[in-house]
Amino acid sequence: MIQALTSPLLRVGLTAMIAFRALRRNKLRSTLTALGIIIGVASVVSIMALGRGTQKRIQDQVSSLGSNLLVIFSKSRRTNAASAGSGQSGNLTLADVEAIRREVRSVKALSPEVTLTAQAVANGRNWSTTIAGESPDYLHIRDWPLARGSMFTERELRTSARVAVIGSRTSRELFGPLHPVGQTVRIKNMPFTIIGQLESKGAGIGGADQDDRIVIPYTTAMRRLTGEKYPRLVTLQISSDDLMSAAQEQITALLRQRHRLTDGRKNDFDIVNQKEIADTVNSITTTLTYLLGGIAGLSLLVGGIGIMNIMLVSVTERTREIGTRIAVGAQPRDILLQFLIESITLSLLSGAIGVALGYGVSAAATMIPNFHPSVSTGSIVVAFGISFAVGVFFGFYPARKAANMNPIAALRFE
Amino acid sequence: MNASVIELDNLQKIYRTGDVEVRAVNGVSLRIERGDFVAIMGSSGSGKSTLMNMLGCLDQPTDGQYLLDGVDVARLGRSELSRLRNLKIGFVFQSFNLLSRTSACENVELPLFYTNPHVPLRDRRQRAIEALKKVGLGERLYNHPNQLSGGQQQRVAIARALVNNPELVLADEPTGNLDTRTSIEVMGLFQALNDAGITVIMVTHELDIAAYCKRIIVMRDGRIIRDEVNAARIFANDQRAVLDASEQHASLS
């Protein structure tokens, strides 16, 4: 009874041994055949890992903007390209901003923004950087802590004070290791007192360095630096996630009313929801990842055909061996199993090497700053599953061919 | 208990290619007793190979009855035939058919590999070593076929045929690829095995090889045309002495 139960298992084990030996005998051939599957699995695993890394990075960048953000962009009233976005012709006024603050309850904080690029001069050095005019709420909205010093106040905003909070990169460029707080920086020949220094935040969406900037009150930026009357955009923080779309609708209605847009006319502003950006970017990267993974998966198919080819060669080469085995008592299923195990061993072994290589690629990619690709268990399971399936699928036909051989003809095969 | 190892009754094998019907074996009736040593002779196309394939359960007769050790073979399926071959028949081929790059010992173990119920590894090895000792290769257990002479390779094949204690050893031109001296040695081995009680059936077209057997069957056109006891049986020991003498003579002159 026990014999009857253990016997099939033992036979599989023994047959596996024969298969291993046959593969070892043709090392070069086995390796070359395996290469197809190895490359396929390695690319699937590494592409999936890189895709996950990219997604994670984008998510980090989106959440580094702060949470529950809406951004209102002004559309130029004139369609003249030269004046588009110049700030002189914007239609989002500070009065609009005030109205939103007053009337939309769910708005927790907001900051109109004016940006310009200018030379900052300090400490005998010169550095071209982004000057961002913002409100005192800006750091709250962006969830951006100060390394030292403080943010400017409402009072300083009202008085268009010449105060500045400096980004870590800009500080390093201008002051080196020195503390910038209390120093003076000249922007467009106008002295600003540095009252705070920002923590480092790294690259933002699109890869721009968020740490290379000087933040000043938007009133100061508009009146003293650019002369613009309108903010280019307004960043708003909504008090909770659930209220995002309601707030978006409310602001749209309010602005349409204030801009006297009758029904049927298009908005002269854009409202972008942070979550929407994240979702869009996410779905794009996910689609791309699966697309690339699928293309890489095709090479598994090609690898499988390679296995089938080599198994057919192997069956033909070993015709006499097969004949001999059948003559001395091998059952057709013993022969089938022998060749099937051979092809499965080949494909699984290739799969394992492929997974290891994929890990390697993924590990190498972690050397890219702020990039953390990770190999998911799912992709390993899938890679192994597909390798196994490829081994069975492409090994079955040659194995059946071997099992169905006529022993008389096989024994005489030259 | 039936004393006959093989009982054939009007055995037929007919091949059809298109409209042409070839009666490769055309009504063969035959009894072979335990302990016999039979040579089957005939020119090519006489049907001796076809008969041999059927005796070896590698092929099924078109008609007629074949009892192997009392079992009616004609009714068995592929896998039952495999089992029967494994347990009751040992094969020796003209071109040895050893697995290359596999030691003598493992080659001899091969049939045990497929024996059901399973033979444990240690028993397999033990029985393979015993079989190799029986054919005089106790010193070359782990050599690969390419490290052995033709005669030695054929001995390994004979050991493989013996390892599962078969009722019957079937040899298909076992000396066809061997020189005279080695042929004598191999035939001597068959004679020794036969003396020990093993039934041997051998296909050959060489009269001087058939002369070692106890009984000679001659076939032509699918029928047995002669079946007689070999009155002029020769023995390997004598033949070796004759060969030695003639070689000495040749080198002297």
In this predicted model, what pLDDT tens digit does every residue of B117-129 receive, in sequence order? 888 889 999 999 9
Are residues A170 and A247 both part of a single domain? yes
Beta strand pairing status for A125-134 and A213-217?
A: parallel
Contact B122/A at CB under 8 A: no
Contacts of A24 in chain B (CB under 8 A): none
Is residue A161 scored above 50 in pLDDT? Answer: yes
With CB atoms and an 8 Å threshold, state whether B79 touches A327: no
Q: Does some domain include residue A33?
A: yes
CATH no. of B35-60+77-252:
3.40.50.300
Are residues A80 and A43 both part of a single domain? no
- The pLDDT-based confidence of A1 (bands split at 50, 70, 90) is very low
pLDDT at A277: 78
Structure letter (DSSP) for residue A225 = I
Domain termination site, one of A241, A267, A293? A267
| Residue A188 token pair | 């467009």
> Average pLDDT, stretch B21-31?
92
Q: Does some domain include residue A144?
A: yes
Are residues A242 and A119 both part of a single domain? yes
Are residues A395 and A331 both part of a single domain? yes
Alpha-carbon gap: A8 to the closest alpha carbon of chain B (Å): 9
CA distance A235 to A142: 9
User: What sections of B135-213 are H helices per DSSP?
Assistant: 150-162, 180-195, 207-210
With CB atoms and an 8 Å threshold, state whether A328 touches B111: yes
Alpha-carbon gap: A323 to the closest alpha carbon of chain B (Å): 9
- The pLDDT-based confidence of A7 (bands split at 50, 70, 90) is low
Q: Does some domain include residue A274?
A: no
Residue B204 CB contacts under 8 Å (≥ 6 apart), including other chains: B39, B40, B41, B173, B174, B175, B176, B210
In this predicted model, what pLDDT tens digit does every residue of A350-363 receive, in sequence order? 999 999 999 999 99
| Residue B248 token pair | 């000495």
pLDDT at A76: 60
A335 φ/ψ angles, rounded to the nearest 5 degrees: -70, -45
Chain B nearest-CA residue for A8: B118
- The pLDDT-based confidence of A78 (bands split at 50, 70, 90) is very low
Q: Does some domain include residue A294?
A: yes
Domain termination site, one of A267, A287, A319? A267
> Average pLDDT, stretch B237-249?
88
In this predicted model, what pLDDT tens digit does every residue of B164-207 receive, in sequence order? 999 899 999 999 989 999 999 999 999 999 999 999 999 998 99
Q: Which long-range contacts (CB under 8 A, 24 or more apart) does A178-187 make?
A: A178/A123, A179/A148, A180/A122, A181/A148, A181/A149, A183/A122, A183/A123, A184/A122, A185/A120, A185/A121, A185/A122, A185/A214, A186/A120, A186/A121, A186/A122, A187/A118, A187/A119, A187/A120, A187/A121, A187/A131, A187/A214, A187/A216, A187/A225
Radius of gyration of chain A (CA): 34
pLDDT at B128: 95
Contact A134/B at CB under 8 A: no
Are residues A103 and A191 both part of a single domain? yes
| Residue B6 token pair | 């093989």
Q: Would you list the domain boundaries of chain B?
A: 35-60+77-252
Are residues A249 and A393 both part of a single domain? no
pLDDT at A6: 54
Are residues A29 and A87 both part of a single domain? no
Is residue A383 scored above 60 in pLDDT? Answer: yes
Percent of chain A with pLDDT over 90: 46
Total number of domains constituting chain A:
2
Alpha-carbon gap: B79 to the closest alpha carbon of chain A (Å): 5
Chain A nearest-CA residue for B49: A408
- The pLDDT-based confidence of A295 (bands split at 50, 70, 90) is confident
Are residues A23 and A106 both part of a single domain? no
Q: Quote the pTM value.
A: 0.74
Structure letter (DSSP) for residue A259 = T
Domain termination site, one of A267, A297, A320? A267
Q: Does some domain include residue A386?
A: yes
Question: Mutate which of B114, B163, B170 to disrupt the A interface (most A C-beta within 10 Å)?
Answer: B114
Q: Does some domain include residue A96?
A: yes
With CB atoms and an 8 Å threshold, state whether B82 touches A25: no
Q: Does some domain include residue A2?
A: no
**Largest Cα–Cα separation, chain A:** 104
- The pLDDT-based confidence of A79 (bands split at 50, 70, 90) is very low
Alpha-carbon gap: A304 to the closest alpha carbon of chain B (Å): 28
With CB atoms and an 8 Å threshold, state whether B111 touches A329: yes
Q: Domain range for residue A323? A: 12-61+279-412
- The pLDDT-based confidence of A2 (bands split at 50, 70, 90) is very low
Q: Does some domain include residue A336?
A: yes
Beta strands in A135-282 (DSSP E): 146-149, 163-166, 184-187, 190-198, 213-217, 233-238, 269-273
> Average pLDDT, stretch A286-303?
87
> Average pLDDT, stretch A83-104?
74
Are residues A183 and A91 both part of a single domain? yes
